[in-house]
Structure 1
């Protein structure tokens, strides 16, 4: 909705999710999610981050590495710069965007640091 018609913005109503589950319990089963995922897989240009079930795959892999959910402020960095390479050995987790930027300032020649 536009701000003109909804100046307060979109508000999520938790009760609607519960209502949808009651009205149509078979709608988003795991098999349905897998079918949707397969139909969309490899259809893009590869210019953005890969997603798994609507979540950026690199964040999902980082959560598995850490054994916990990532905090909203945590940033996952791709060491080799390839945003499609989600191997655990290629990922670093920073506690904040500031910490991530400081790493780039030290190590990335685009930010004045030494190239790796």
Structure 2
């Protein structure tokens, strides 16, 4: 099957996620990229135009998106999650360091590269 995902965050991490070929190999398409930062809205990440977070509900509905990826700093991660949930997202991959507060019917998978590295070092060095 083909799965469309929404990405929140057009910074370094978001851009890396959006341009990664690994998703396409598994039938996953980054179908929309959103930003809170007005300076990034309207810019392009690869061939994709960055949309305003205010347009998320309409875009997610039009593009049949139910999975969201959060790649923003911790201080805006909850806002990103709230917007994704309001847009009908039921699965969220959180790449921020924030602990998200979400309804019980929303699945959150938190994975932060720095945290993952710390765990790996801890288990291999102790």
TM-score range, shorter chain: under 0.3
- TM score, norm. by length of structure 2: 0.20
- TM score, norm. by length of structure 1: 0.21
RCO higher in structure (CA 8 A, sep ≥6): 2
Q: Which has the larger radius of gyration?
A: 1
Greater share of residues in strand: 2
